[in-house]
């Protein structure tokens, strides 16, 4: 065919099938026999057919786009999760449109309206801005990752188990006082279980503990400034005690570790640190950080598979919708490094 763009008419003429049959091959291949599918497939190779994806979108309204709403990229957990999600293209060939949402519900609704205008086939939401009921109202497959998901499908870590592992390790290492550093997380968010499990474990073992839920800020710089105050308060309050610090994520843990080194020039025996996530910053820190590994790659893979399953179902001539949302929980793994005994 030389440099000429191969059309459905060219394929029909070559195979002696009608253009309608060729169209069915692209949009509903299961409506053709395997023999006819093979004949058309061989013709495409022979003719050097290149898919016109824009034409396909215009023809059937299927864009092969997935939207992603993510709160920020300065917390290393989110940037690593986004990396893992984007890498799924090699397996599923869906493309992604990403918005970072940190300015409230009205902005996030604008972002989703923009995504809907691009005819996205599914949506992955990591932000906590809009309720799952609101997200379900968009009438497309939606997957929540580590957020409230009563009305939509969701994937989370077993946050309770992870925090229990962290607290138990610090207790076994004979820390005199355990301190959990976190934001003031609403109870509706799965990560609240990190707070709950930490407190439950300390009370069960009758260990002195403190909840410091004062982390606030809308940027890395804001949070680091707040972490300086938190570190100073802890360091002054417990000068002669071995302090077991469980931080809500590896970004916080790395900040805290840097502050220890800035003051002492080393990692003193009076501290132990455990982070949460196993994002790359934990293993690459000045001193590799013990952390609760969320298995971010497995969470991303599970979320994508669950979303693709729903999107592919909707493409069938007789789709069967889910009777109720599917929720999956991934078991975390405690990873011991140099910030614990």
Cβ neighbours, 10 Å, residue 155:
27
pLDDT, tens digit, for every residue of 217-249? 889 999 999 999 999 999 999 999 999 999 999
> Do 179 and 286 share a structural domain?
yes
Half-sphere exposure of 268 (CA within 13 A, CB side): 15
On whether both 167 and 216 belong to a single domain, the answer is yes
Q: Are 131 and 167 contained in the same domain? A: no
How confident is residue 110, by pLDDT bands cut at 50, 70 and 90?
A: very high
Cα–Cα distance measured from residue 16 to residue 9, given in angstroms and rounded to the nearest whole number: 10
Is residue 302 a part of any domain in this protein? no
pLDDT (0 to 100) of residue 44: 86
- Distance of alpha carbon 182 from alpha carbon 213, whole angstroms: 5
The owner of tokens 């990692």 is 267
For 48, the 3-state DSSP assignment is coil
Residue 317's φ and ψ, nearest 5 degrees, are: -65, -30
Is residue 208 a contact partner of residue 239, using CB atoms and an 8 Å limit?
no
Nearest-angstrom CA–CA distance, 62 and 118: 10
Q: For residues 149 and 260, state if they share a domain.
A: no
pTM summary value: 0.82
**187 and 276, same domain (yes or no):** yes
Q: How many CA atoms lie within 13 A of 286 on its CB side?
A: 13
Do both 208 and 114 map to the same domain?
no
Residues 251 and 148 in one domain: no
pLDDT in the model for residue 332? 97
Q: Report the distance separating Cα 51 and Cα 74, nearest Å.
A: 38
Q: Mark whether 144 and 172 lie in a shared domain.
A: no
Mean pLDDT, residues 61-84: 91
Q: Is residue 341 part of a domain?
A: no
User: Is residue 121 assigned to a domain?
Assistant: yes
Tell which wins on pLDDT, 53 or 261: 261
Asked whether residue 78 falls in the same domain as residue 139, the answer is yes
Q: Is residue 335 part of a domain?
A: no
Our count of domains for the chain comes to 3
Q: What share of the chain is helix, strand, coil (3-state, %, to 5)?
A: 45, 15, 35
300 in any annotated domain:
no
- Say which CATH number the domain at 34 has: 1.10.260
Is residue 32 located within the same domain as residue 124?
A: no
338, part of any domain:
no
- The strand ranges marked E within 126-270 are 142-145, 153-157, 177-181, 209-212, 243-247
Q: Please give the residue range of the domain that contains residue 70.
A: 65-155+308-327
CATH number for position 112: 3.40.50.2300
Task: Judge if 173 and 291 occupy the same domain.
Answer: yes
For residue 255, which of 227, 219, 295, 222 has the smallest C-alpha distance? 227
Q: How far apart are CA 289 and CA 294, in angstroms?
A: 14
pLDDT in tens, 174-224: 999 999 999 999 999 999 999 999 999 999 999 999 999 999 988 999 999
Between strands 209-212 and 153-157, the pairing is unpaired
Q: Is residue 130 part of a domain?
A: yes
Q: Express each pLDDT in 130-188 by its tens digit.
A: 999 999 999 999 999 999 999 999 999 999 999 999 999 999 999 999 999 999 999 99
User: What is the rounded distance in angstroms from the CA atom of residue 180 to the CA atom of residue 215?
Assistant: 11
CA-CA-CA-CA torsion sign (157, 102, 69, 325): positive
Identify the H or E element spanning 112: helix 105-117
Q: Do 93 and 121 belong together in one domain?
A: yes
What's the mean pLDDT when you consider all of the chain? 92
């Amino acid at each position: 065919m030389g440099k000429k763009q191969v059309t459905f008419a060219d394929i029909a003429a070559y195979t002696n099938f009608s253009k309608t049959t060729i169209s069915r091959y692209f949009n509903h291949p299961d409506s053709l026999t395997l023999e006819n599918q093979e004949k058309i497939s061989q013709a495409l190779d022979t003719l050097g057919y290149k898919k016109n994806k824009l034409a396909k979108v215009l023809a059937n309204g299927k864009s092969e786009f997935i939207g992603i709403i993510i709160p920020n990229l300065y917390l290393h957990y989110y940037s690593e999760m986004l990396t893992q999600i984007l890498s799924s293209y090699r397996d599923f060939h869906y493309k992604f449109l990403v918005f970072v949402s940190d300015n409230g519900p009205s902005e996030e609704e604008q972002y989703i309206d923009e995504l809907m205008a691009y005819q996205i086939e599914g949506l992955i939401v990591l932000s906590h801005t809009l309720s799952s009921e609101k997200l379900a109202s968009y009438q497309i497959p939606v997957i929540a990752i580590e957020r409230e998901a009563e009305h939509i499908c969701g994937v989370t870590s077993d946050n309770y188990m992870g925090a229990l592992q962290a607290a138990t390790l610090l207790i076994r290492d004979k820390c005199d006082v355990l301190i959990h550093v976190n934001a003031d997380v609403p109870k509706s968010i799965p990560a609240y279980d990190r707070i709950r499990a930490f407190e439950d474990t300390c009370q069960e073992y009758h260990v002195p503990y403190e909840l410091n839920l004062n982390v606030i800020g809308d940027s890395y710089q804001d949070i680091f400034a707040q972490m300086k105050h938190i570190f100073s308060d802890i360091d002054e309050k417990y000068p002669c005690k071995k302090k077991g610090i469980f931080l809500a994520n590896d970004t916080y843990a790395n900040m805290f570790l840097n502050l220890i080194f800035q003051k002492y020039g080393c990692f003193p025996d009076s501290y132990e640190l455990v982070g949460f996530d196993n994002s790359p910053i934990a293993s690459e820190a000045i001193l590799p950080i013990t952390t609760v590994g969320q298995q971010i790659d497995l969470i991303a893979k599970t979320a994508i598979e669950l979303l693709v399953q729903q999107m592919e179902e909707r493409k069938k001539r007789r789709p069967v919708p889910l009777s109720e949302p599917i929720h999956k929980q991934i078991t975390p793994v405690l990873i011991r490094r140099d910030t614990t005994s």
